[in-house]
């Protein structure tokens, strides 16, 4: 077989058994009103992300906590109904904030922080979380892996420092491109490199 055919076959087999790993760096979601307060206009796309419809914005913010700040933090669009700041526990130590480990959207009674853009600052009373590790699955892949939305599974990583992450939440939606989302603490703990794969253990 030609080398190219072998490679595309290998890729197809990989995709049937494994899920690609992705590491999410610290990032911010804002409302349209907050975007206008921060930048004078709504978010403008810089490039598409792996999840369909989501984009990295051209705009960047400074995230400030009681003990420190991060400059030049990524803002993801489109604008949402509520602000959300996703950081790692390591980031939390720098900022002086202890973020609860939550699924995206679950920001109730989480700590706040200050966001600063080119045109102004916004103090958000809550919204700082550490994203709970989760797996985005397209419904076809959920059937293949025999898991359902909100199911909690274990995930084995085939990485430099292999690990099994327990309590990983599966999210299923036709809007999703199938991928495991780890934060940078988890990515570094397992020695993740771009292109690595994981396996769902249920």
- Identify which range of 7-15, 30-38, 137-145, 153-161 contacts a copy of itself by CB under 8 A: 153-161
Widest pairwise Cα distance in the chain: 60
The answer to whether residue 169 forms part of the interface with a copy of itself (CB under 8 A) is no
Of 79 and 87, which CB lies nearer to a copy of itself in the complex structure? 87
Strand-by-strand arrangement of the 152-158 sheet: 134-137, 179-183, 19-24, 197-201, 152-158
Residues 6+ apart with CB under 8 A from 148: 142, 170, 172
Q: What is the DSSP letter of 149?
A: T
The answer to whether residue 50 forms part of the interface with a copy of itself (CB under 8 A) is no
Q: Please check whether residue 30 is in contact with residue 120, taking contact to mean a CB–CB distance below 8 angstroms.
A: no
The answer to whether residue 186 forms part of the interface with a copy of itself (CB under 8 A) is yes
The answer to whether residue 189 forms part of the interface with a copy of itself (CB under 8 A) is yes
CA 133 to chain centre: 8
- Identify which range of 32-40, 62-70, 118-126, 163-171 contacts a copy of itself by CB under 8 A: 163-171
The answer to whether residue 191 forms part of the interface with a copy of itself (CB under 8 A) is yes
Q: Which two tokens stand for residue 39?
A: 């930048």
Residues that bind a copy of itself (CB under 8 A): 88-90, 101, 132-133, 154, 160-167, 184-186, 188-191
């Amino acid at each position: 077989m030609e080398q190219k055919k072998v490679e595309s076959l290998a890729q197809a087999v990989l995709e049937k058994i494994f899920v690609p790993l992705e590491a999410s760096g610290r990032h911010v979601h804002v409302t349209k009103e907050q975007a206008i307060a921060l930048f004078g206009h709504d978010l403008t796309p810089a490039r598409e992300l792996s999840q369909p419809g989501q984009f990295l914005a051209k705009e960047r913010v400074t995230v400030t906590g009681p003990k420190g700040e991060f400059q030049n933090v990524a803002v993801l669009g489109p604008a949402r109904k509520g602000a959300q700041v996703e950081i790692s526990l390591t980031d939390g130590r720098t900022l002086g904030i202890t973020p609860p480990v939550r699924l995206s959207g679950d920001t109730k009674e989480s700590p706040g922080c200050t966001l600063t853009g080119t045109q102004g600052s916004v103090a958000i009373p809550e919204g700082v979380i550490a994203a709970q590790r989760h797996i985005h699955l397209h419904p076809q892949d959920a059937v293949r892996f025999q898991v359902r939305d909100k199911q909690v599974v274990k995930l084995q990583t085939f990485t430099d420092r292999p690990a099994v992450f327990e309590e990983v939440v599966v999210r299923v939606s036709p809007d999703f491109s199938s991928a495991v989302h780890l934060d940078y603490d988890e990515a570094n703990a397992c020695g993740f490199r771009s292109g690595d794969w994981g396996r769902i253990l249920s």
